[in-house]
C-alpha cells in the first residue's frame, strides 16, 4: 500500500450539521492526506454520506469549516467544488441511462469537450482517445457504444469509476464503489484504484464490507451518530473492541 503523506489536501474543522433538532454531524475534525486511501466506516446512520454531501457542497454546514488545499470551500456550489478537483460517486450511480458508455464518460469532461472550444475537432479527437484509454483500463472498451441501462451491474459500477477517472480530479470521494462486485471484478477494481493512488490521486471511500475495508484502506475514520470516534491506521481501528461493538450493533457510544 501507499505510504502515508504529510500533505493535507482536505481538512474538516469542527463540522456540525443539524436538520432542525436532529444533529447529523457533530464537531467532526478530520484531515485527509494526499496519496492514500481513507475509508469512512461506521454503522448505518453514522453520518458518512452526510459528510460527503457537506464536502462537495450538496449540503451546507451548520457550523465549522472545510478547507481544500488550505482554502475554505464552505458556501461554494457543488459544481465549483468539482472544478476545484474534488469528485464523487453516489450509491445510486447517477448514470445517463440512455446515453452510451462513451457518451457518459465524455459528459464529465464538459465544458472542455464542447466542439466549439479551442482546438475544435482535433482536441475532441484527443478527448475521445483519452476516453478509449479509460474504457480499456476499466474493461469497458467493447461496451463503448452500449447504452448504460443495458450494462450488467458490475459494468455500471466500472462506468461510474470511468467517469470519475475522466475528470482528472485530485481527490475522489467514492460511496460504496465496490459493493455487489464479484471477486474477479473486485480484484480488478482494487488494482485499478491502487494504480490511480500511486499516480497521485487521493481517495476517500465509504464502505461497509469489512473485507473491502481491510483490503483497500491506508487509514480508517470511524463515525457513529455523527461523531468521529477514531482516525488511525486500519489495525488500530479494526482491533478496538469498543468500536467493533458499536459497528456490529452490540452497544452505542
- 147, 174: one domain: no
Question: What is the Cα–Cα distance from 100 to 119, expressed in whole angstroms?
Answer: 24
> What does the pLDDT read at residue 123?
74
Query: How would you classify the pairing of strands 202-206 and 171-175?
Result: parallel
> What does the pLDDT read at residue 5?
56
Helix axes 153-165, 120-137, angle to 10 degrees: 130
> What does the pLDDT read at residue 1?
43
Question: What is the Cα–Cα distance from 162 to 146, expressed in whole angstroms?
Answer: 15
Of 138, 168, 198, which one is at a domain's C-terminal end? 168
Of 168, 193, 209, which one is at a domain's C-terminal end? 168
- 179, 58: one domain: yes
Residues 6+ apart with CB under 8 A from 8: 31, 32, 33, 34
- 138, 245: one domain: no
Would you give per-residue pLDDT tens digits along the chain (253 residues)? 444 457 899 999 999 999 998 999 999 999 999 999 999 999 988 999 999 999 999 999 999 999 999 999 999 999 899 989 999 988 788 899 999 999 999 988 865 444 445 566 777 788 889 999 999 999 999 999 999 999 999 999 999 999 999 998 999 999 988 888 899 999 999 999 999 999 889 999 998 888 888 888 999 999 999 999 999 999 999 889 999 888 877 544 4
The CA dihedral of 41, 46, 49, 54, to the nearest 10 degrees, is: -120
- 1, 75: one domain: yes
Q: Give SS3 for 32.
A: strand
- 81, 174: one domain: yes
- 200, 252: one domain: yes
- 181, 208: one domain: yes
- 107, 32: one domain: no
Q: At 16, phi and psi to the nearest 5? A: -125, 145
8 Å CB contact between 52 and 206: yes
User: What domain range includes position 160?
Assistant: 94-168
- 119, 178: one domain: no
> What does the pLDDT read at residue 111?
53
8 Å CB contact between 161 and 188: no
- 70, 2: one domain: yes
When divided into structural domains, the chain yields a total of 2
First to last CA, the chain: 31
Residue 67 maps to which CATH number? 3.40.50.300
Task: List b or e across 153-162, with b for residues whose CB sees 16 or more CB atoms inside 10 angstroms.
Answer: ebbbbbbbbb
- 81, 121: one domain: no
Helices (H) and strands (E) in the chain, counts: 9, 10
Cell numbers for 91, please give them: 450509491
- 181, 163: one domain: no
Of 168, 187, 216, which one is at a domain's C-terminal end? 168
Amino acid at each position: 500500500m501507499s505510504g502515508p503523506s504529510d500533505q493535507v489536501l482536505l481538512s474538516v474543522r469542527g463540522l456540525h450539521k443539524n436538520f432542525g433538532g436532529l444533529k447529523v454531524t457533530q464537531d467532526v475534525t478530520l484531515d485527509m492526506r494526499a496519496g492514500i486511501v481513507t475509508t469512512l466506516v461506521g454503522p448505518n446512520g453514522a453520518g458518512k454520506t452526510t459528510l460527503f454531501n457537506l464536502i462537495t457542497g450538496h449540503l451546507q454546514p451548520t457550523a465549522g469549516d472545510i478547507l481544500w488545499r488550505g482554502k475554505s470551500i464552505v458556501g461554494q456550489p457543488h459544481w465549483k467544488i468539482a472544478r476545484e478537483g474534488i469528485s464523487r460517486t453516489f450509491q445510486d450511480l447517477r448514470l445517463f441511462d440512455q446515453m452510451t458508455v462513451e457518451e457518459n464518460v465524455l459528459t464529465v469532461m464538459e465544458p472542455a469537450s464542447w466542439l466549439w472550444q479551442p482546438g475544435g475537432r482535433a482536441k475532441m479527437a484527443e478527448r475521445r482517445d483519452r476516453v478509449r484509454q479509460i474504457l480499456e483500463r476499466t474493461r469497458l472498451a467493447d461496451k463503448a457504444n452500449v447504452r448504460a441501462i443495458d450494462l450488467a451491474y458490475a459494468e455500471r459500477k466500472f462506468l461510474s469509476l470511468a467517469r470519475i477517472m475522466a475528470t482528472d480530479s485530485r481527490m475522489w470521494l467514492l460511496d460504496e464503489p465496490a459493493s455487489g462486485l464479484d471477486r474477479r471484478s473486485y480484484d480488478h477494481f482494487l488494482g485499478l484504484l491502487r494504480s490511480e493512488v500511486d499516480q497521485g490521486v487521493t481517495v476517500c471511500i465509504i464502505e461497509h464490507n469489512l473485507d473491502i475495508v481491510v483490503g483497500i484502506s491506508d487509514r480508517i475514520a470511524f463515525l457513529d451518530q455523527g461523531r468521529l470516534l477514531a482516525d488511525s491506521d486500519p489495525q488500530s481501528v479494526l482491533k478496538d473492541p469498543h468500536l467493533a461493538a458499536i459497528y456490529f450493533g452490540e452497544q452505542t457510544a
